[in-house]
Copies of this chain bind each other. A is one copy, B any other.
């Protein structure tokens, strides 16, 4: 049973035009007009004033383009057409016109969701259907009887047998166009309507009809503006944070340099000591034995008079103190004595380099 693989989507709507997620189609002559209009100024950008004019014209064209629904006024939105078809096609026990032909009556929302929805839409939720009805300005009508499960929706321009009114059922977003639609209703039998619409569209400064469109544009810009400002805010915060990297980098560089100096000094020291000690080592073989003996019996007895003598002869205890004082500047050597097991010091591989 799982292998049946019914596909309720594609083949089930042979005659209903597709409408789902379909973008508007700016193919009307008006669109072409303004497309050409928008290209017009580009032909002559030699003059600054002409540039500005071009900009304005271009903008007008863009604004009109954005209001595509205007030119689509003659078209029936896919969803509306689908619902209208639905009412002629489907089981009247599920969905039907009301008696007076002004309302949609869904007698069984369950069955509608289960049986109708997947055939005409991409879902099987009655709520999605009602959401779209609301989007297209349908309104729910309370049932006459309270206990009835029927669900009724109506739209002033959605009536049985009045297919001519269907273009007036428009989505909410296209709401602003409705006044113009009303105007067009008056002139709907002549091309004058289109001309009027074009005129009004071409005169964006006209106070009456143009205001709503302007509002829409402004709102869009406001969004962009807000986004921009937010982004700039974020960027500033980030940059503030990043700017301290510079200071820290300088500190790091300074430290690095100091350490380099120290290393150089240590290297020199080690080199000298290495050389010195390698020579001294050969003279010390006997003393090593002595030390070992002494060590075996006790550490506390410093009875090597010779060495003490040498120490006393050092060019001065003061020099020693100076040395320690200077070096003591590098202070802490914190827990150096704190020690744990010390592994065998590995033979230094790089020692020969310093030698």
Contact = CB atoms under 8 A, between A and B. Distances in A.
A268 B348 contact: yes
A278 to B, nearest CB: 6
A117 to B, nearest CB: 9
Contacts of A122: 9, 11, 122-123
A106 B72 CA distance: 27
Nearest to A69: B17
B231 A176 contact: yes
Contacts of A315: 299-300, 316-319, 321
The size class of the interface chain A forms with chain B is 35 or more
Nearest to A71: B17
B214 A213 contact: yes
A188 B235 CA distance: 16
A127 to B, nearest CB: 7
Contact of A310 (B201, B205, B255, B336): B336
Nearest to A309: B337
A342 B326 contact: yes
Contact of A32 (B21, B175, B203): B175
A298 B326 CA distance: 11
B56 A50 contact: yes
12 contacts: A37-B198, A110-B110, A195-B196, A195-B200, A273-B273, A275-B287, A300-B328, A300-B354, A310-B336, A315-B321, A320-B323, A334-B338
A90 interface: no
A89 interface: no
Interface in A108-130: 110, 114, 118-125, 127
A158 B291 CA distance: 67
Given A176-B231, A308-B324, 15 more contacts: A8-B118, A27-B179, A49-B205, A176-B230, A183-B238, A205-B216, A254-B340, A258-B333, A260-B336, A260-B339, A266-B266, A269-B324, A277-B280, A323-B328, A334-B355
Contact of A222 (B114, B146, B206): B206
B269 A270 contact: yes
B259 A291 contact: no
Contacts of A56: 40-41, 43-44, 47, 50, 201-202, 204-205, 216, 219
A132 interface: no
Contacts of A209: 212, 217
A42 to B, nearest CB: 9
Contacts of A21: 11, 14
Contacts of A322: 298, 319, 321, 325, 337, 339, 342
B311 A272 contact: yes
B314 A299 contact: no
Given A27-B20, A59-B215, A209-B217, A337 B323 contact: yes
A259 B355 contact: yes
Contact of A224 (B32, B229, B274, B353): B229
A237 interface: yes
A282 B264 contact: no
Contacts of A334: 254, 258, 261, 338-339, 341-342, 355
A281 B310 CA distance: 10
Interface in A168-190: 175-177, 179-184, 186-190
Contact of A36 (B39, B64, B207, B288): B64
